[in-house]
Structure formats: structure tokens, C-alpha cells
Structure 1
Amino acid sequence: MKLKYLFFLLLLPALWISSCKRDEDRIFDANATVRMTEAVQQAYTVLQANKAGWMMKFYPSSNQEFGGYTIFTKFISQEEVSVASDPFSGFKTSTYSVNPESGPVLSFDGYNKNIHWFSEPGKDNGGIGADDSGMRGDFEFIVLKATADSVVLKGKKSGSHLVMLPLKGDEFESTSASYQAAANKFKQFGVFNLETKNGESVAMGYSPKMRVFGNPLDQAAKGMAFRVVPGGLEFYEKYTMDGVTFDFLKYIEPTSTYPYGYYTDNGNTFKIVPEVTPINLWFKTNLWSMSYSNVGPIGQVYWNNAKSKLKANGITLNNMYIGNAGVEVLYYVLQNGAVEGAVGHNITPVSGTVDQVRITFTGSLYNVVGFTAAYWTGGLSEFTTPLNGRTFKITSDEVNEPSSVLLTDVAAPTNTFKVFLKDINDPLNN
């Protein structure tokens, strides 16, 4: 009997320790829940407390290969936020939330072009980045710190860190407008030349729609990522070019020698000089809407053939485009939007010209939504015939970055196509 009681007494400390541990776990869990609730509420409170809003420098990709942008936010309630960003004019109001996950997560959960554009696939954002991933930006951010002087965020997908800084007064409206104006002015130019301290002029490495310069004096150097800001270009970090280390280049207004102005370092050692975008490069890098009423007599023969075949095969053509949708294509929207796809057509600027391109059918088929070769053989192939293997001269009434251009076949001048950046619906009847 004594042995039995002794054995029971020996068990008591272990049972007591186990019981205490379970109590501690419950206390710990409760504390974690309380802390998370407080962190979420703290984020909500800080974001809304500054009625003037916030500004953040935003490099969507963790490698900065697409350059940087500036985003402005104003959290006007527990659910609504107004967002402005420099690629677009004005601002748009949508919904947001702060959710408890591994930490408080700020989510711009209502679609807003001013921030979701950076995470859209390349085929939707105008051809920046890969078709499926685009610029790889975030619209959900882990809140690392939220205080009145700054909100520190970490992209949930990219892992990139960024800081939201408080605005004052009417800066959400006025400062965002000044950034948008600067960006709009900058995007007019697709070609930049470096004028070195020795007076030599060399082409800058630059791809339209991406805010990154290559160093033409050092091909192995890292690309120089930047944001467009009022008064110049602000770079992601310090870079060195032509013997000068810099992280900001100021913009000098146009003169008779530099009709579009230029960007330069503080010592005016070198100049980055913008030039008007060659019209063939502008055509190649955009997506243009096509329609029957804007096709010349030769092309209309083939468009009539296409119309008959499509009707016979029960195919409705809602929109048709030529140009860059991430790759160079003829792009089709069919069956009232239920089917989308494209067929490859290389657009090659003619060497030694600024206004001619050669269009060549590649045969590559791109299935965006339900697009198969049956649509191509069912009538779409007719559109390619008056384009394939032809060289076109491009003209426009607009001097720089026109919204519409006329393609004229060099070998057959009545084979013409007028195309537009704006959408034209029902292309077979317009």
C-alpha cells in the first residue's frame, strides 16, 4: 500500500507541471491573439489618422528591373482608400482592409488601376514584363511598423521593403498631380542619348515603358533604375557613369540647342538628352486597334473574305489589334469576350529609317482564353495576307507619340491601314 501511495506522490509534480504548461499555452495563445488584434487596430488607426495621406516610393520588382514609381494613398475610412500613382492621371477610390495573418497585412482588395497595374500580367498592363507575371508588384503588404512618422511595409509576394511617408495639407492632390505631370512629360520620349564630358554622343540603353537606363560606357554595369519626379530623375541607389557618382539628375528646360531639354548631374558633367520617339519604334511598342472602315481597297478584299468565313463558322469578332501585347501579334477578341488569343506577327523597323516597318507572319499561336487554331482557319487567317511580308511607311498628323497612324504599303500604295490606340468595337462593321 505504501508503495502505491509513494508512486502516486511521485507522479504529482509531473502532473502539476503538465497542468501548468497547458495553462501557460492558453495564456500565450490569448496574448498572441490580443497582440495581433492590437497590431491590426494600430495599423488602421495610423493609416486613417493622417487625413492628408501618404506617399511611397515603389519599385514593383525586388530586382528593380522595371524601375520605380510613386504611389499616393489617402485612407478615408475603415474600408475606403483613394490611390494615385504617377503613370495615370487623377486618383481612384476603392476598398482596402488590414487582416491578421503572420502579421497585420494591408490589402488593397478592391481593384484600383493605380496600384493593381503593377501586379497585372504583361498582356494586361501594356506589355511590361512577362505575359503571366508583368512587373511582379504587390498589392498586399505585411505591416512591419505603423507610427505617425512612417509606415514600413514588406511586399507579401516580392519581399520588397518600402516606406509610406506622411503628406501634409493638400499634398495628396497637388503633389500627386505634379508627379503625374512629370511622368507624362517623360514618357513622351522613347530615345535618349548620352552626351559625355568629352562631347561624344552615344545612345543610352533604354527600353520604352521601363524606367531603367543602361550605361553605354560600361555594358557590364548594372541597369540604373529610377523614378520620375518633379524636376528630374531620382535613382534607386548611387550609380557611376562617365566618372560621376550620382543618385539624382536634374532636368534642364529646353533651349535652342536642346529642344526637349536634358537631364544632368550637379556638375553638368554629362547630359542625358531625350529625343522624339521614332514613329516606327512607337508603332512597334504599342497595341493598335483596327477596323474595316480604316482599311484600304486591297485590304478590304481580304477583310470581306474574313467576314464571310467567320459568319459561316459562327465566329464573332469583337475587337482586333496589331502591335505589342507582350509579343508582336495580331490580337483577337471573339465570341463577345469569351475567347481571346493572338497569332505572332514580327514588326521589324527597317534599318536606316525612322518611319518604316516590315511585318512578317510567324505562325505562333497564343491562347489567352479558349483560342485555338480552329478560329485561325475559320477566317482569321484572311487578315494576315495583305500584311505578311510587306514593308509599310508610317505617317501621322501628330508629331510625337501619335494616337493614330497610317500604314502605307511601299510596294502597293493602295494597301493601307489606319490604326488607333483607342479601342474600336465591332471592327468588321466600323
Structure 2
Amino acid sequence: MKLKYLVILILLPFLLVTSCKRDDDRIFDTNATVRMTEAVQQAYSVLQANKAGWIMKFYPSNNQEFGGYTIFSKFISNAEVTLASDPFTGSETSSYSISPESGPVLTFNGYNKHIHWFSEPGMDNGGIGADDSGMRGDFEFIVLKATADSVVLKGKKSGSHLVMLPLKEGEFERLSTTYQEAADKFKQFMVYKLETSGNKTVRLGYDAKFRVFHNPTDELAVGMAFRVVPKGLEFYQKYTLAGTSFDFLNYVEPTSGYPNGYYTDEGKTFKIIPSTPLNFWFKNNLWSMSFNNTGAFGKLYWTVGKGMLAKNNIIVNNAYIGGTSGVYGLIFNLQNGAVFGGVSHFIEPVEDTEDEVYIELEGYVLGNFPLAYWSGGINYLSAPFDQTTFKITSADGSLTPTVITLTDVTSPTNSFKLFLKDIDDPLNN
């Protein structure tokens, strides 16, 4: 009996400690749950409290290789948010939620192009970034801080830190429109040149899909990522160009010497001059072509093609050449809309020219174009373009014309008058 009581006395302190530990755990779990619930409610409350909305500088990739954008948000309720961004016009309302995970997580769970475009695969977002990952942007964010003066977010996928700042009444509509107009004006230009002292100019490294410049005199320098803002270009950090450090370039309105205006640093030590040469304008638009607007040389091929297409019951509703969303070639609307596609071509502006372009068959199938249609007559419509350099002329002298003519530099009878508007039934018009 004594042994029994002795064992109980020995075990009692351990039992008490274990009991207390369990109580502590229960209390801790309750507190953690309460704290998380409060953090989620705090985030909901802060986001909705500012009825005017929020503005955010958004660099989708943590390496900034795609440049920066501006996103506007207005949280209407616990379920709905209105978003606007500068790559697109207008705004869209969709759903969102804030859920407890490792912290409060803000998720834009209803599709909205103003945020999901940055996370779409390259094959869906217009060819920006890799086919599978695109710009690697986020639509789920850990809320690190939520107060009336700022909301700090961390992208779940990218790990990038972002800050949402409060807008004032009426700024959501006014500023989002102003930013969208500035971005729309910027993207109409496809070439940017750097002008330094002595009016020396050199083409900047620039891809119209990305908001990043590359130093033409230093190939190893990091790309200069920027956002387009109403008064110019705001850069991700300080960069150096032409011996000058800067993080903002002001836009100067057009003059007779600079018909498209230019961007310059505070000390005006250099200029970045936008332009859209005819060969780039041609390459990045879809141009309608037709039999009656084809020169004598091309008509020889098109006549044979017409006969073969009729024999094979292939209906050509529209015929185009050029590019869209990073895809270049001859593209056709066939079988009364049942088939839209074609065959890819290299379309390359000739170096050191603004009005010459080289075209050559590449051979990838575009869209739902059947290869049998190629040998069924479409190849004859393509033949006059293959391995040929053309000079481009504008019908009205405009920098962005709607009608142009391609003329083979070695054989003037090989020419095509092209239109931005559709020409229906091109084999008979």
C-alpha cells in the first residue's frame, strides 16, 4: 500500500504539469484562432473603409523583366471588388475573398483581366513571357499589414512585396482613365531611340511587349524596368544611361523637330525618342489583301491558286498578312468562318531602314488551319511573298497609315496594296 501511495506522489507533479500544458495549449489555440479571425476582419474592414479605393504599383515578376503596371481597386463588399489597370480600358467588377492561412490571404478568385492577365500563360496573354508561366504575376497575396494609410501585400507565388495606397474621392475613375490613356499612347510606338549630346542617336533595346529598356552601350547592364504614368516614365529604381542616373523621365510634348515628343531626364542630358517606322507598323498589324490589289507578278500565282482552291472547295472569306499577338504570317478566314489560321512567316524590318521589310516562309501552322489547305491552293497565294524584300509606302504619308503598298525592291511588278479594313471575298475583289 505504501508503495502505491509513493508511486502516486511521484507521478502527481508530472500529471499536474501535463494538465497545465494541455490547458495552455487550449488557450494558445483559441488565441491564435481569435487573432487570425481578427486579422481577416481587419483586412476586410480596412479595404472597404476607403470607399474611394486603392492604387498599387505592380511589377508582376520579382525580377522585373516584364516591367511595371498600375492597378486600381475598389472593394465594394466582402465579396465584390472593382479593378482597373493601365494595360486595358475601363474597369471590371468580380469576386474576391480574404481567408485565414499562414496569415490573411487576399485572393481575387473571380476572373478579372485587370489582375489575372499578369498570371496567364504566355499563349493566352498575347505572347508575353513563357507559354506556361507568362509574366508570373500573382492574384493571391498574403496581407502583411492593413491600416488606413497603406496595405502591404506579399505575392504568394512571386514573394514580391507590394503596397496599396489609399485614393481620394473620385480618383479611382479619374486616375485610372488618365493612366490608361498614357499607357495607350505609349504602346502605339514600337521603336525608341536614345539621343545624347551632339544629337547622336542609337536605337534602345526594347520589345513592345515589355516595359523595359536595355542600354545600347552596355549589353550586360540590367534591364531598366518602368511604369507608364501620366507625365512620363517612372522607373523601378535608379538606373544610369548616357552617364546620367535617373528614376523618372518627363514626357515633352511634340514639336516640329520631335513629332512624337520625347522623354528626358531632369537635367535634359539625353532624350528617348519614340517612333513607329513603317516596317514595324506593317509587321504588327493584320493587313487585308485581295486579287484586284495584287500586282501583275502576284496575279500569275493568285490565278493558279484561285483555280485550285475552287477545285478543292476551299472558300477564302478574308486574307491577311502581318502580325497579331506576336504571331506573324499569312492568315486566312476560310469556310465561312469555320477555319481561321494560316502559316507563319518571318517578317523582319530590314536593319537601318524604316520602310523595308524582308518576308520568308517559316512554316508553322497557325490557328486551326489544315495543312491540306496549303497544298490545296493557299501556297500559291503565299508564293509571291517568300524570300523577298519589299519597300513600304504609305498612301497618305501618315506615320500610322491604314493603306500601304508593298513593292518588291528587285521586281516592281510584284506589289500588293494592303488595307487595315477587311476585304471580303478577296479572290474576287
| TM-score, reference length from structure 2 | 0.83
CA contact 2:365–2:371 (8 Å) conserved in 1: no
SS of corresponding position for 2:20: helix
1:377 equivalenced with 2:376 (yes/no):
no
* Alignment correspondent of 1:281: 280
- Sequence identity (%): 62
* Alignment correspondent of 1:130: 130
* Alignment correspondent of 1:195: 195
1:176 equivalenced with 2:176 (yes/no):
yes
* Alignment correspondent of 1:119: 119
| Offset, 1:57 | 0.7
- Residues in 1 aligned to 2:156 and 2:332: alpha-carbon distance in whole angstroms: 34
- Residues in 1 aligned to 2:316 and 2:25: alpha-carbon distance in whole angstroms: 64
- Residues in 1 aligned to 2:70 and 2:378: alpha-carbon distance in whole angstroms: 41
Q: Indicate the RMSD between aligned Cα atoms, in angstroms.
A: 3.7
CA contact 1:94–1:110 (8 Å) conserved in 2: yes
Deviation per residue, 1:251-288 (Å, 9 max, x gap): 112222222222111111111122x311222333x363
Q: How many residues align?
A: 418
- Residues in 2 aligned to 1:333 and 1:5: alpha-carbon distance in whole angstroms: 95
- Residues in 2 aligned to 1:425 and 1:416: alpha-carbon distance in whole angstroms: 16
- Residues in 1 aligned to 2:230 and 2:291: alpha-carbon distance in whole angstroms: 42
* Alignment correspondent of 2:252: 252
| 1:158-307 correspondence to structure 2 within 5 Å | 158-274=158-274, 276-284=275-283, 286=284, 288=286, 296=294, 298-299=301-302, 301-302=304-305, 305=308
Instruction: Give the 3 Å change call, closer, same or farther, for CA 7–89 of structure 1 in structure 2.
Output: same
Residue identity opposite 2:359 in structure 1:
I
CA contact 1:80–1:96 (8 Å) conserved in 2: yes
CA contact 1:294–1:418 (8 Å) conserved in 2: no
Deviation per residue, 1:290-331 (Å, 9 max, x gap): 6878985544754774576586xxx99999885354454567
SS of corresponding position for 1:175: helix
* Alignment correspondent of 1:388: 386
CA contact 2:316–2:332 (8 Å) conserved in 1: no
Instruction: Give the 3 Å change call, closer, same or farther, for CA 405–376 of structure 1 in structure 2.
Output: farther
- Residues in 1 aligned to 2:428 and 2:161: alpha-carbon distance in whole angstroms: 50
CA contact 2:290–2:423 (8 Å) conserved in 1: no
* Alignment correspondent of 1:7: 7
- Residues in 2 aligned to 1:119 and 1:423: alpha-carbon distance in whole angstroms: 33
Deviation per residue, 1:222-266 (Å, 9 max, x gap): 211111111111111111222222111111122222222221111
Instruction: Give the 3 Å change call, closer, same or farther, for CA 415–259 of structure 1 in structure 2.
Output: closer
| TM-score, reference length from structure 1 | 0.83
Instruction: Give the 3 Å change call, closer, same or farther, for CA 262–326 of structure 1 in structure 2.
Output: closer
CA contact 2:334–2:340 (8 Å) conserved in 1: yes
| 1:39-118 correspondence to structure 2 within 5 Å | 39-118=39-118
* Alignment correspondent of 2:142: 142
CA contact 1:127–1:324 (8 Å) conserved in 2: no
| 1:338-377 correspondence to structure 2 within 5 Å | 344-364=344-364, 376-377=370-371
- Residues in 1 aligned to 2:14 and 2:340: alpha-carbon distance in whole angstroms: 68
CA contact 2:403–2:417 (8 Å) conserved in 1: no
Instruction: Give the 3 Å change call, closer, same or farther, for CA 305–21 of structure 1 in structure 2.
Output: farther
Q: Which runs of 5+ in 2 are unaligned?
A: none
CA contact 1:215–1:223 (8 Å) conserved in 2: yes
- Residues in 1 aligned to 2:264 and 2:323: alpha-carbon distance in whole angstroms: 34
Instruction: Give the 3 Å change call, closer, same or farther, for CA 176–329 of structure 1 in structure 2.
Output: same
| Offset, 1:10 | 2.4
Instruction: Give the 3 Å change call, closer, same or farther, for CA 47–198 of structure 1 in structure 2.
Output: same
- Residues in 1 aligned to 2:104 and 2:422: alpha-carbon distance in whole angstroms: 41
Residue identity opposite 1:256 in structure 2:
S
CA contact 2:405–2:415 (8 Å) conserved in 1: no
- Residues in 2 aligned to 1:221 and 1:210: alpha-carbon distance in whole angstroms: 17
